[in-house]
């Protein structure tokens, strides 16, 4: 399908990709802590007949340099933009910290019809990097809503990697240690997906080396089911933190972090989720949850 790609500079940096024949489905596409604009993913979704908007939500002009007290209104404003483009069905697709943002946006904005959360978390975590004031510590929430910080889990800085050195590290254990250390803060920091009107698709790998996204996804699924709400979990135990959708390039290696999985397993996880992603975004069809 032919698409039109437009660069955006105001109110955020980003890209808007639309099918030439238009679409009544709009998808907000959010990267994780890389902070990048997901151009390739937006283009692939637009080629499937959806208007896809990907924005830089931190690290850009006038934005917080890190993921620190980011207003969720950043994302509800993007929903406004998609609706102004003619979208009648709204989806939010996010990865990692972008999945955290996607889930929270659906909790706070009933206009969101579907959330696709890749490598999600089940709780609100602390900041990753500095806020607008340039300060990183003490820890603060990653998010605000109506100028109020959301309850969050801080990191236990006593943790050290199992194999410290100069190469990339797996930090999953840091999150697992922090959950134990700050167990009393878990309940208020829960992402209340049972309150979201949106349908929910969770995609996670059991070999995720960044954080335990499969365990988080299972927690989210239990919350949804306890409320009688729809949910679908697509998982592979050999996949890592970065599922790749059909048509996407392999994720590049990082000099800082290990992500787990393999390029083959990550691609197979994305392929297994792809038909569900398209069905949910287009029409809301959802197969039986697992």
What's phi and psi for 43, nearest 5 deg?
Answer: -65, -40
- Helix (H, G, I), strand (E, B), or coil: what is residue 264? helix
pLDDT at residue number 6: 97
Which two structure tokens, joined as six digits, stand for 136?
Answer: 């990183």
Dihedral over Cα of 128, 133, 137, 141: its sign = negative
- Give residue limits of the domains in the chain: 3-65+72-125+192-282
Q: Among the residues of 169-226, which ranges form H helices?
A: 172-181, 186-189, 213-226
pLDDT at residue number 248: 96
259 vs 19: CA distance, rounded Å: 33
pLDDT at residue number 164: 66
Q: Which CATH superfamily is domain 3-65+72-125+192-282 in?
A: Alpha/Beta hydrolase fold, catalytic domain (3.40.50.1820)
pLDDT at residue number 235: 98
pLDDT at residue number 283: 79
pLDDT at residue number 284: 57
88 vs 261: CA distance, rounded Å: 37
Global pTM value:
0.95
pLDDT at residue number 210: 98
For residue 185, cis peptide bond before it (omega within 30 degrees of 0): no
**8 A C-beta contact, residue 201 and residue 276:** yes
Which two structure tokens, joined as six digits, stand for 184?
Answer: 């009393």
Strands of 20-125, DSSP E: 25-30, 51-55, 70-71, 89-95, 114-118
pLDDT at residue number 240: 98
pLDDT (tens, 9 = 90+) of the chain, 290 residues, equals 899 999 999 999 999 999 999 999 999 999 999 989 999 999 999 999 999 999 999 999 999 999 999 999 999 999 999 999 999 999 999 999 999 999 999 999 999 999 999 999 999 999 999 999 999 999 999 999 999 999 999 999 999 987 766 789 999 999 999 999 999 999 999 999 999 999 999 999 999 999 999 999 999 999 999 999 999 999 999 999 999 999 999 999 899 999 999 999 999 999 999 999 999 999 754 443 33
Dihedral over Cα of 32, 36, 37, 38: its sign = negative
pLDDT at residue number 167: 86
The DSSP bridge partners found for residue 19 are 3
12 vs 141: CA distance, rounded Å: 22
158 vs 131: CA distance, rounded Å: 22
What's phi and psi for 35, nearest 5 deg?
Answer: 75, 5
pLDDT at residue number 288: 39
pLDDT at residue number 260: 97
CA dihedral 233, 91, 74, 228 (to 10 degrees): -50
Strand 148-149 and strand 199-205: the pairing is: unpaired
Would you tell me how many other CB atoms lie within 10 Å of the CB of residue 253?
Answer: 10
């Amino acid at each position: 399908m032919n698409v039109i790609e437009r660069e955006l500079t105001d109110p955020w940096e980003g890209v808007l990709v639309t099918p030439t024949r238009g679409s009544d489905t709009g998808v907000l596409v959010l990267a994780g802590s890389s902070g990048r604009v997901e151009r390739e993913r937006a283009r692939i979704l637009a080629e499937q007949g959806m208007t896809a908007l990907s924005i830089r939500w931190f690290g850009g002009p006038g934005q917080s340099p890190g993921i620190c007290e980011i207003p969720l209104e950043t994302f509800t404003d993007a929903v406004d933009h998609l609706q102004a483009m003619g979208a009648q069905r709204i989806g939010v697709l996010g990865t990692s910290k972008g999945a955290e943002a996607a889930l929270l946006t659906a909790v706070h904005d009933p206009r969101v019809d579907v959330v696709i959360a890749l490598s999600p978390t089940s709780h609100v975590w602390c900041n990753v990097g500095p806020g607008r004031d340039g300060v990183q510590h003490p820890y603060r929430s990653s998010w605000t809503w109506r100028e109020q910080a959301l309850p969050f889990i801080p990191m236990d800085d006593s943790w050290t990697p199992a194999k410290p050195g100069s190469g990339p590290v797996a930090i999953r254990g840091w999150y697992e240690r922090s959950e134990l250390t700050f167990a009393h803060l878990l309940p208020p920091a829960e992402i209340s997906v049972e309150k979201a009107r949106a349908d929910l698709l969770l995609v996670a790998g059991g070999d995720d080396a960044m954080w335990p996204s499969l365990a988080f996804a299972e927690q989210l699924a239990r919350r949804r089911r306890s409320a009688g709400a729809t949910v679908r979990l697509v998982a592979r135990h050999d996949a890592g933190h970065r599922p790749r959708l059909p048509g996407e390039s392999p994720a590049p290696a990082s000099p800082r972090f290990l992500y787990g999985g393999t390029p083959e397993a990550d691609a197979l996880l994305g392929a297994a989720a792809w038909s569900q992603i398209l069905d949910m975004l287009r029409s809301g069809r959802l197969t039986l949850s697992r």
